[in-house]
Amino acid sequence: MATRIVHFGEDTCHRLSVLKSAGYFVAKCDNVEQLQAALQSEYGADAVLMTDRDGEVPQDAMKVARTYSSAPLILFRDTNRNIAEIGFDLVVPVLTPPEQWLDELGVVIKRSQAIGKRSAKLRA
């Protein structure tokens, strides 16, 4: 199965089409209820992405993501406002080229999957 990305909120900068072109399966969630359902589905998520639309980080979505998933949480900056970036595994600055953030996203996902495998071995 393809790597599954769950995206919360508005698709600014057409990032979802870039992700799909790179071979990712993308589930788009427009509200917190859809996000929770996507994370609780049998497929879960390999990463959860969101943006700081209008300079605001969606705190309710962050809480749901951390409650229902251990997948990395990625913030795409859409502004240059000074906001707290605590709680994210990767923060992509505004206007970062897709080639760069795709590489960084891949590294974060692989690292998270490796930690998950090691954790499963320890539990076994």
Rounded-to-integer distance, Cα 22 and Cα 53, Å: 24
Q: CATH number of the domain that 83 lies in? A: 3.40.50.2300
| Count of domains for the chain | 1
Determine contact, residues 19/47, Cβ cutoff 8 Å.
no
- The answer to whether the pTM exceeds 0.85 is yes
Q: Which amino acid is at 77?
A: R
The count of residues in the chain is: 124
What's the CA gap between 31 and 27, in Å, rounded? 12
Task: Count Cβ atoms below 10 Å from residue 41 Cβ, excluding itself.
Answer: 12
d(CA 25, CA 123): 29
Residue 33 structural domain: 4-123
Give 9-53 pLDDT, tens digit per residue.
Answer: 888 889 999 999 999 999 999 999 999 999 999 999 999 999 887
